[in-house]
Amino acid sequence: MEDKAMLPTIRRSFNPFFSGLFDDDFFPVAKSRSSSSTLPAVNIRESDKDFILELAVPGIDKKDLNIDISDDVLTISHETKTTSEVDQADGYKRKEFSYSSFCRSFYIPENVLTDKIGANYKDGILTVELPKDREEKQKLTKQVKIS
């Protein structure tokens, strides 16, 4: 029981970049998706110079992946539809189709240079680099006089 009581404290201690990963409401698609839809596993690393996201997307062609940035949200999505039809001489006819998709979104921290975000795809791993602004913006500190 104590472990569950500690969960809110642990969540608050993480960098805001990661906080949305633990919220049920962060991925509304996950609640409404069909049983054949899965979200790819993701690794997120932070260094002094950048954040690195690695998504496991084996078997997906690079051209079928989309990366979009809107305001402070990075969205990685995929959608594939295939249909095949086979006529055989013995009277059997078969038509098969498949559909797969996913959509994952991540909040972009304020110190990321969104115009410098880049991505690479190799061996079923999509790597997205989010470089940080080297000049940390100093927060204004000021003494306010009361009149």
Decide if 2 contacts 66 (C-beta within 8 A). no
Decide if 115 contacts 69 (C-beta within 8 A). no
Q: What is the pLDDT of residues 42-97, one digit of tens each?
A: 999 999 999 999 999 999 999 999 999 998 999 999 998 888 777 776 666 777 78
pTM reported for the whole predicted model: 0.62
Walk me through the domains of the chain, giving residue ranges and CATH numbers.
2-131 (2.60.40.790)
Q: In 32-70, which positions are buried (b, 16+ CB within 10 angstroms) versus exposed (e)? A: eeeeeeeebebebeeeeebbebbbebeebeeeebeeeee
pLDDT at 113: 94
pLDDT band at 34 (very low <50, low <70, confident <90, very high): very low
pLDDT band at 33 (very low <50, low <70, confident <90, very high): very low
